[in-house]
């Protein structure tokens, strides 16, 4: 199902994001930025999400 969500619908499953540093800094509000690589047909790629406070 994850493969279909990414390739067919453009939805990424982000269950492994570490938010410990954000919680430690009490960053309750931030802008979440996720840059997606432009590879056609991929299902798993390394992404580098950023939280801008």
Terminal alpha carbon distance of the chain: 33
pLDDT for 3-20, tens place per residue? Answer: 777 778 777 777 778 889
Mean pLDDT of 25-50: 79
Residue 42 has what pLDDT? 67
Give the DSSP per-residue string, 13-53.
--TT---HHHHHTT--S-EEE-PPP--TT-S------EEE-
Q: Which helix (H) or strand (E) holds 4?
A: helix 2-9
Whether the predicted model's global pTM rises above the 0.85 cut = no
For the stretch 5-31, what's the b/e string if a residue is b when 16 or more beta carbons lie within 10 angstroms of its beta carbon?
ebeeeeeeeeeeeeeeeeeeeeeeeee
Q: What is the pLDDT of residue 13?
A: 75
Query: What pLDDT score does 40 carry?
Result: 74
């Amino acid at each position: 199902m994850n493969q279909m969500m990414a390739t067919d619908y453009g939805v990424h499953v982000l269950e492994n994001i570490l938010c410990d540093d954000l919680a430690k800094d009490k960053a309750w509000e931030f802008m979440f930025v996720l840059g997606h690589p432009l590879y056609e047909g991929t299902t798993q790629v390394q992404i580098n999400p950023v939280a801008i406070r």
